[in-house]
Amino acid sequence: MIDDPVTLSRLLTFITLGFHIILATVGVGIPIFISIAEFIGIKKKDHHYILLAKRWARGYTILVAVGVVTGTIIGFQLSLLWPTFMQAAGKIIALPLFMETFAFFFEAIFLGIYLYTWNRFKKPIYHWLLSIPIVIGSSASAFFITTVNAFMNTPNGFDVENGVFTNIQPLVAMFNASMPSKMSHVLTTAYLTSAFILAAIAAFHLLRNKSHQYYKKALHLTMIGCFVFSIATMINGDISGKFLAKYQPEKLAAAEWHFETEENATLLLGGILDPDEREVKFGIEIPYALSILAFNRPSAEVIGLNEFPEELWPPLYIHYFFNIMIFIGMFLAAVSFIYLVFYYFNRFNSLNRWLLRAIVIGAPLAILSIEAGWIMTEVGRQPWILRGFLMVEDTATTSNHVFAMLVLFSLLYISLAILLPTILIRLFKKKDAEKELEEHHVIL
Amino acid sequence: MIELIGITVLWIFLFGYLIIGSIDFGAGFYSFYAKITNKKHSIRQIIDRYLSPVWEVTNVFLVFFMIGLIGFFPDSAYYYGTALLVPGSVALVLLAIRGSFYAFANYGARESNIYLFLYGITGLLIPAALSTVLTISEGGFIVRTSGDVHLLLLELFVNPYSWIVVMLAIVSVLFISATFLTYYANKAKDKDALLLMRRFSMIWSGPTILLSFLVFLTLSTHNEAHFQAMLDESWIFLLSLVSFVLALWFIYKQKYLGLAFTFVCLQFGFAFFGYGYTHLPYILYPYITIFDNVTSPEMGITLIMAFIAGLFLLLPSLYLLLRLFLFNAEYVQGK
């Protein structure tokens, strides 16, 4: 394995992306909440919300700095590890890659301005306006990059004649079939995950018996975000399932261990597969549910894996990642729903310690679910890198040095993974919110 | 037409990276220098005030160049991608260390000498690593044998031309950065910092011009055709020299420091565009030219349109950034 460039390139891409997507996700999601908090603070003349926006922005900056770094790495690594793929992709899907750099450029400029102009404007609303380009820029980056990933799943917008790509239509390639479902799922889950991380911070402080209004406001604001975006995530998650059933049936079938094409298909949760007999043990089966997930009709026919040659099957272990993603999604929706019920019905205490604990656990779970979702969709595309056109094994670098690079980057990510949380914690401990609230008593 | 527009756009962005990146890289080094020599100079505040709002923008220029190169000339992804795995990864790790440690040192809770050291030293190593790509593009280091592309790393390592380019990259970074900080210190009305940065400008000016000549001369042993093309267009390089002399004169006299920095930009601009122009049509000797390896017209036109649309968004934003921080006397003076 140490001298197989394909496996090693996959592994290196996996750890780079596995690390980067966490930062990318919060990089896309947090600006919205900074912007909302500042807006509420200005409108209500409530300096708690302003401080909230300030402190979030401070942590966000460090996360973005490291996210820029890992994003630059994956940008270059695609060419370094998958030169043949990028040669082909450059011909067809270069447009969104190119536009992504613009979107990021835009975001970077305004983030720089936003951070250093808190007290530069006579009217605070002018400062708030600067947050809009950050929100637009970060979400647009996510949009453009996701179209490239969607293109890898459902390539479109070109013809192949004698092994050469012709009749290239960049916009058709960009707006390919999986773009809408992927894009909406990526964006809402990024907002959801970020909301849960921010909520968990507030819940954590409340659990440690800090009772300042500041934390309660932070918790309430972010829990509303959690609820809204978990509903949105469930809806577009369902759309994604229907998309797969229609355009990438082998991925859905592999995720569901669904071998025979049949009507009234059963949804499978968990379980252990006997690979020879194709029998599932210990699984929970929900009748008709897969047909409903796939086509909204209990009697609908769902295509099974046996329709495809076995060498083109995605690895069957994606079933577990698919399940993890769904379970966590349900958990997050339930927690935010219960919180809101408790909050608006006075009979219950929305600051119940068990509920707060569930919110704190929600943050790492949300990140886990992002990872699981990406593994499910990327591994579910195997063995293709460009579905139907290019195989992963034919596009990797032929260099003998991938293993050394794998070690090099692993060391880098390990040190960043240790330093990043340490520095964030130290930064916020040095100056806690209560102290800052005293200092900035009259801000508006 | 597409290939010419494409390469021009890319080269402009690479030039932008050269200037903005040099200021950033050099500033990191001077910041570290001021710290270890324990100069209670205000120079570090000046550097911080400039860098804090703009550091994120720097990296984007480089990424933009790389993505644009793949977009306009997709085959370069294959050649450079295969050949540069090792040096490219090393440069990436250096960029990663620099970017994250800047944030750690600047926004993190306390100032650490280790962070500052890493930040300062990577500022010199990154340009050194990146400049080798220019050397590689001259040909002779990437070879194609039986379909596989290889980089001759050892040849690159023992090649004198490659080392002279590396040294030029390092001293240029220190020179460009020093001349910019001279101007910025003057705007900040900080006499101490001004004199220090002026001294550094003078110190690094000699090596910069000397090494530029050496690069020019040694290129003849390495890529005769390119050397000849540069001789044919020698007027561009003479303009570069004139700009250098004018810049140095103003800095020496401590007058018109903004103009002096503009002349430094012109000095590097003439040299860089002269170098790039005479490098054409090759992107990589002898495998990739802008004519044979350009993308399809459909993609090319779409990219150019996206680029123009993007500029309408970016130019006003950049203007706002510069106005609020670089050309705002109150901000520069730390009021």
Q: What is the pLDDT of residues B260-273, one digit of tens each?
A: 889 999 999 999 99
Q: How far apart are CA A225 and CA A166, in angstroms?
A: 45
In B, which residues are within 8 Å of A73 by CB distance? Answer: 92, 95-96
Q: Note whether A222 and A359 are same-domain residues.
A: yes
Would you place residue A441 in the very low, low, confident or very high pLDDT band (cuts 50, 70, 90)? low
> What mean pLDDT is predicted for residues B165-174?
93
- Are A122 and A167 members of one domain? yes
Assess contact for B88 and A76: CB atoms under 8 A: yes
**Cβ-contact B60, A51 below 8 angstroms:** no
Rounded to whole angstroms, how far apart are CA atoms B288 and A360?
54
Domain shared by A165 and A256, yes or no? no
Nearest residue on chain B to A121, alpha-carbon basis = B324
Last residue of a domain, one of A363, A380, A397: A380
Shared-domain flag, residues A280 and A427: no
Residue B79 carries which DSSP code?
Answer: H
A188-210 pLDDT tens trace: 999 999 999 999 999 998 888 78
Is the domain of A344 the same as that of A400? no
CA B322 from chain centre, in angstroms, equals 19
**Any idea what the Cα angle at residue B54 is, between residues B96 and A113, rounded to 5°?**
125
User: Does residue A444 register a pLDDT over 60?
Assistant: no
Structure-token pair, residue B233 = 């267009």
How distant is the Cα of A404 from the closest Cα of chain B, in angstroms? 9
In a domain, A230, yes or no: yes
The pLDDT of residue A442 is above 60: no
A382 to chain B, closest Cα gap in Å? 22
Asked whether residue A16 carries a pLDDT value surpassing 90, the answer given is yes
Question: Which of A75-84, A142-151, B281-290 shows the lowest per-residue confidence on average (mean pLDDT)?
Answer: B281-290
> A with B: how many residue pairs have Cβ under 8 Å apart?
215
The rounded distance, in Å, linking the Cα atoms of A13 and A7 is 10
Chain A residues whose beta carbon lies within 8 Å of the beta carbon of residue B82: 83, 397-399
pLDDT of A264 over the 90 cut: no
Contacts of A169 in chain B (CB under 8 A): 298
- Domain boundary among the residues A334, A354, A380 is at A380
Q: For all residues of chain A together, what is the average pLDDT?
A: 87
- For residue B44, CA distances in Å to B30, B52, B174, B204 come to 8, 12, 16, 20
- Check residue B41 and give its pLDDT: 61
Amino acid making up residue B136 = I
Contact B67 A95 (CB under 8 A): no
A259 domain residue, yes or no: yes
CB within 8 Å: B100 and A169: no
Q: Are A329 and A229 in contact (CB under 8 A)?
A: no
**What pLDDT band is residue A131 in, cutting at 50, 70 and 90?**
very high
- pLDDT in the model for residue B120: 84
Per-domain residue ranges of chain B = 2-332
Residues of A in contact with B119 (CB under 8 A): none
Contact between chains at B108 and A401 (C-beta distance less than 8 A): no
Q: Looking at the domain assignment, is residue A391 inside a domain?
A: yes
Residue A169's closest chain B neighbor by CA?
A: B298
The reported pLDDT for the residue numbered A410 is 94
pLDDT over threshold 80, residue A101? yes
pLDDT at residue number A188 = 94
Confidence check: pLDDT of B77 > 90? no
**Is residue A256 a part of any domain in this protein?**
yes
Instruction: Determine the residue type at A77.
Output: Q
Q: Does a structural domain hold residue A116?
A: yes
Phi, then psi, of A442 in degrees rounded to 5:
-110, 105
Q: What is the pLDDT of residue A89?
A: 87
Q: Which residues contact residue A305 at a Cβ distance below 8 angstroms, ignoring those fewer than 6 apart?
A: A250, A253, A254, A258, A259, A313
pLDDT at residue A388, as a whole number:
85
A204 lies in the same domain as A352: yes
- pLDDT reading at A3 higher than 80: no
User: A115 and A86 share a domain?
Assistant: yes
DSSP symbols for B262-303 = HHHHHHHHHHHHHHHHHHTTEEETTTEETTTS---HHHHHHH
B295: nearest CA in chain A? A91
| Interface contact flag, B99 A66, Cβ < 8 Å | yes
Q: Enter the pTM of the model.
A: 0.89
Q: A272 pLDDT exceeds 90? A: no
Whether the CA torsion B83, B86, B89, B91 is positive or negative: it is negative
Average pLDDT over residues A147-157: 91
Residue B302 to residue A66, Cβ atoms within 8 A: no
Asked if pLDDT for residue B103 goes beyond 80, the answer is: no
Rounded percentage of chain B residues whose pLDDT exceeds 90 = 15
> pLDDT digits over A384-418, tens only?
998 888 888 888 888 888 898 999 999 999 999 99
Q: For position A443, what pLDDT does the model report?
A: 43
Query: Within 13 Å and on the Cβ side, how many CA atoms surround A311?
Result: 3
Q: What is the pLDDT of residues A48-99, one digit of tens each?
A: 898 899 889 988 988 988 888 898 899 899 989 998 899 888 889 889 998 9
> A339 is in which domain, residue-wise?
191-247+249-380
d(CA A19, CA A129): 31
Task: Look at A405 and B86 and tell me if their CB atoms are within 8 Å.
Answer: yes
Exposure string of A394-405, with b = 16+ CB inside 10 Å and e = fewer, is ebbbebebbbeb
Per-residue HEC secondary structure of B108-147 comes to: CCCCCHHHHHHHHHHHHHHHHHHHHHHHHHCCCCEEEECC
> B334 CA to chain A: closest CA distance, Å?
12
How many Å apart are CA B14 and CA A101, to the nearest integer? 14
Query: Mean pLDDT across the stretch B300-308?
Result: 88
Task: Please tell me the predicted confidence (pLDDT) of residue B111.
Answer: 65
Using a CB-CB distance cutoff of 8 angstroms, which residues of chain B are in contact with residue A70?
Answer: 96
Asked whether the beta carbons of residue B107 and residue A61 sit closer than 8 angstroms, the reply is yes
Q: How is B142-197 classified by DSSP, letter by letter?
A: EEEETTEEEE-HHHHHT-HHHHHHHHHHHHHHHHHHHHHHHHHHHHTT-HHHHHHH
CA neighbor of B59 nearest in space, from B51, B70, B49: B51
DSSP 8-state class, residue B74: T
- Give the model confidence (pLDDT) of A230-245 as tens digits: 999 999 988 888 888 8
CB-based contact A72 B67, cutoff 8 Å: no
Give a yes or no: residue A184 inside a domain.
no
- Which residues of chain B lie closer than 8 angstroms to A98, CB-CB? 67-68, 71, 303, 306-307
State the DSSP string of B11-69. Answer: HHHHHHHHHHHHHHHHHHHHHHHHHHTT---THHHHHHHHHHHHHHHHHHHHHHHHHHH
B214-245 pLDDT, tens digit each: 988 888 888 888 888 888 888 988 999 899 89
Residue of A nearest to B335 (CA): A120
Residues A325 and A210 in one domain: yes
In A, minimum Cα distance to B294 occurs at A91
Residue the block writes with tokens 């604990």: A357
Determine the distance in angstroms separating the CA of B205 from the nearest CA of chain A, rounded to an integer: 32
| Residue % of chain A over a pLDDT of 70 | 98
Q: Which residue of B has its CA nearest to A406?
A: B89
* Last-in-domain residue among A380, A402, A426: A380
The mean of the pLDDT values for chain B is: 85
Q: Per-residue pLDDT for B93 more than 50?
A: yes
- Give the number of domains in chain A: 2
**Are A197 and A284 contained in the same domain?**
yes
Give tens-digit pLDDT for A294-336: 888 888 888 888 888 888 888 888 989 999 999 999 999 999 9
